[in-house]
Structure 1
Amino acid sequence: MTENLTSSDIQKLLNDPTPENRAEAAKMVSGHFNSGGLSDSERKIAEDIFKIMVRDAEERVRLALSVSLKENPDVPHDVAVSLANDVVGVAAPMLQFSEVLTDEDLKEIVKSQGVDSQMAIAQRQSLSADLTDTIVENSDNEDVIATLVSNEGADLQEATMGKVMDKYGEVAAVSDSLATRKQLPINVAERLVSLVSDKIRDHLVTHHEMTPDMVTDLFLSARERATVSLLGDGADVMDVRRLVDQLHANGRLTETLIFRAICMGDLVFFEAALAKVCNIPVSNAYKLIHDRGSLGLAAIYREGNLSPEMLPIVQAALDVAKDMETSASEDRDRFQQRMLERMLTNCEDEFDPDNLDYFITKLGSKKDSDEAA
């Protein structure tokens, strides 16, 4: 410490009635404390001064203390807690930056304080999964949640993201912030895809001269393409199965989506999806799908009430997908090219290889017509 704090110094600092001088004193003592050069006795004196200053009637004094000590990890815990529970102007620096505050301290403040305090906490450099979940559970402010989900330092678990979608999925600021996170669980990504597609559909109906049927075909095609694109190489098997469960529960596990998946070589999704529509274990579906003969796949299509006329095309796609598994060097573009060539061979009378979306939509429409009849 450049100058020792004596008893007379302390009396002068505490008794000077001018708020400006007391604020300057708070900065001075904090500066010495932050320098790390205090002896044990001097540190004790400084801490005693802090404990008195946090009760100063003048807000600017407490604010000077909060700003000066916000990033010091050695601040006494009771001092940090007192400042963090002060009026928001004083509390915000400590709430956003102080590492002295524990998760329990912060969770209690989230529950008991207002929006401004929640916002400051949501901007912390890092937030644990437990703290993040507490904010989502207790905040009713869209800006707080949008700030939280845009903070890559916040540990957002899949269950918490689900709560965000449940409460604020329709709020653009929140869903957009969630969509731009570096990593998203596949189930959350699918919900975002569906949400965006719904918005596009509503906009097209209201702002353009398109019939609801035309818009529905367009929107389903776009949604299914986006959903299949989520199934990147190396996707976790359990994540894919949870995605299938979610799609099925929400009526989005369509035959055309299943077909799109196998067209892209996603065997794991294809197997899980057929197991779901037939209500059988995945292991059973696997054996039926990969039957060396033609009976297994045909049986599973009958059980799932799927279109029998698609069987030759699906079998062709399945054969290519199996071939691709043995060739790790093949990418999706090459796979789809081979898939289109095989489909052209199997259904050359009605298949346009340059327009897979039209072909799939045509198959879906045909199935709808057959069911209506």
Structure 2
Amino acid sequence: MSLTQKDVAKLLADSSPAVRAETTMKVASHFEAKDFTKEEKAVAEEIFRALVKDAEIVVREALSNSLKAADDLPKDIAMAMAEDVDSVSLPMLKFSDVFSDEDLIGILGQDCTAKQEAIALRANVSEAVSEAVIDTGNEHAVAKLVSNEGAEISENGYGRVMTEYKESEAVSGSLSRRPSLPASVSERLMNTLSDRLRHYIVSRHELDFDQASNLILQVRERATVSLLKEGSSQDELEKLVGQLHKGGKLTPSLVLRALCSGDMMFFECAMAELAGVKLKNAQVLIHDEGELGLKSIYNKAGMLMAYLPFVEAAINLHHEMEYSGEGNDREKFASHLLERLLTVFELPDQELAPAEMEYLVAKLQQYSA
């Protein structure tokens, strides 16, 4: 396609908005496809600078929709459309890669809810822009942000969302559906949701507060263990364990439930936290081939000694299976552990009564669920 000054004059002089819009789309499509020579590109840019001032909104809408994916669009043209009415600005704000973080943060501060929501839905949102979205106070924009997998959100950002928008069902719903969350953030979210669920159960069903609490505790512990199934880094696990301990939720049942699923790193971090020792020291004690290491840290952590044979069996099985946690290894691990426990409890040196053994096996089956 070849552009001339005559083409420019015709485009700008035509009195029909529909014709100008159609011509605008044709020129913009060739610009976006990089079909122009250097000289033609310069002419096209001058056309766009004139069109962003066109009195007819249909022309400006056509320009915005046609240029939203143009990665070499001059900044002044993009900004002119970004500052226009919603129907013109939103396509640019949601899709154009021309804007810098500073540009987007500035637009977020203009108190236009539709523009804030469009920015929250961009394919890639940096942590700085995410923080600015949270700053807006626009719960619908924040709900869209946390549902956007392309949005980078810091742990501090997540904390702000859960604190500043805790009454927003739209935000909490989007947050709970986000496929990837730091484990410590997920645990905090589950704690908030479980409190709501407890009150709902008490008000709607014939259960007292303690019964509802026990039910919620089991559900929450299972959910907490499920957070580990995607694999978490050591730093994330240490942070999660510290958070659980601080909130009084790092219970022996949770620790054992995680161990039943083969989450050795979580078990190690939990033992270190509960015993008040460094993780490296805890790992040495837990995997000591002698009899004293595991027993000493297990006792210092305040765990029930009746469960020690089960813990020893789980650790030995973990070593034997070279457990990876991938695929259906968790189910295999839990199944093999149940079989191993039945053997362990039948040994003559175990001083557990039949009722105690039955109780422990039942608990293990519950933890493995």
The alignment status of 1:324 with 2:318, answered yes or no, reads: yes
Matched, 1:314 2:314: no
1:163-312 equivalent positions in 2, closer than 5 A: 163-169=160-166, 171-232=168-229, 235-292=232-289, 294-301=291-298, 303-304=300-301, 306=302, 310-312=304-306
Task: Pick which of 50-59 and 198-207 moved more.
Answer: 50-59
Contact 2:111 2:136 in 1 (8 A): no
State the alpha-carbon separation in 2 of the partners of residues 292 and 328 from structure 1: 16
> What residue in structure 2 maps to residue 369 of structure 1?
none
Gaps of 5+ in 2: none
Change over 3 Å in CA distance of 1:329–1:10 after alignment to 2: closer
The correspondence of residues 57-136 of structure 1 with structure 2, limited to 5 A, is: 57-136=55-134
Task: Note if 1:349 corresponds to 2:346.
Answer: no
Letter in 1 for 2:362: N
Distance 1:322 1:241, change over 3 A: farther
- Aligned in 2, Cα 1:261/1:40: closer, same or farther, shift over 3 Å? closer
Q: What is the CA–CA distance in structure 1 between the aligned matches of 2:364 and 2:191, rounded to whole Å? A: 18
Give yes or no for contact 1:266–1:321 (8 Å, CA) kept in 2.
no
The amino acid that maps onto 1:164 is: V
Question: 1:122–1:144: 8 Å Cα contact kept in structure 2?
Answer: yes
CA distance in 2, matches of 1:320, 1:13: 77
Structure 1 residue 26 displacement after superposition: 3.3
Q: 93-102 or 234-243, which moves further after superposition?
A: 234-243
**Whole-angstrom CA distance in 1 between matches of 2:299 and 2:321:** 31
State the alpha-carbon separation in 1 of the partners of residues 30 and 231 from structure 2.
54
Superposition deviation, residue 88 in structure 1: 1.7
User: Would the alpha carbon gap of residues 334 and 20 (structure 1) be closer, same or farther in structure 2, given more than 3 Å must change?
Assistant: closer
Contact 1:263 1:336 in 2 (8 A): yes
Q: Could you say if the C-alpha distance between residues 116 and 316 of structure 1 is closer, same or farther in structure 2, counting changes exceeding 3 Å? A: same
SS at the partner of 2:277? coil
Deviation per residue, 1:93-146 (Å, 9 max, x gap):
11112122223322221223411001112222333343333323x232222222
Task: Tell me by how many angstroms 1:254 deviates.
Answer: 1.7
Identity in percent = 40
Residue 229 of structure 2 aligns to a residue in which SS?
Answer: coil
Paired letter, 1:349: A
- Aligned AA for 2:246? A
- Contact between 2:260 and 2:364, CA under 8 Å: does it hold in 1? no
Q: Which residue identity does 2:130 align to in structure 1? A: T
1:317–1:342 CA contact under 8 A, matched in 2:
no
Q: Which amino acid aligns with 2:4?
A: L
Further displaced range: 342-351 or 217-226: 342-351
**TM-score, reference length from structure 2:** 0.83
Provide structure 1 residue ranges, at least 5 long, that are not aligned to the other structure.
361-373
CA–CA distance in 2 between the matches of 1:357 and 1:200? Answer: 26
Aligned to 2:5: 6
Matched residues, number: 354
| Residues 11, 31 of structure 1: alpha-carbon distance in 2 compared, 3 angstrom cutoff | same
Query: Aligned partners of 1:234, 1:93: CA distance in 2, in Å?
Result: 37
The Cα of 1:85 is off from its aligned counterpart by 1.7
Q: Is the 8 A contact 1:271 1:286 kept in 2?
A: yes
Return the alpha-carbon distance in structure 1 between the equivalents of residues 29 and 314 of structure 2.
70
Tell me the distance in 2 between the aligned counterparts of 1:329 and 1:13: 69
1:343 Cα deviation after fit: 4.7
Deviation at 1:194, TM superposition (A): 2.4
Show CA shifts across 1:301-354 (max 9, x none): 5544x25xx214224323332332232269333333343355551543223466
CA distance in 2, matches of 1:211, 1:358: 26
State how far apart, in whole Å, the 1-side matches of 2:37 and 2:235 are.
57
206-215 or 56-65, larger mean C-alpha shift:
56-65
- Counterpart CA distance in 2 for 1:234 and 1:115 is 37
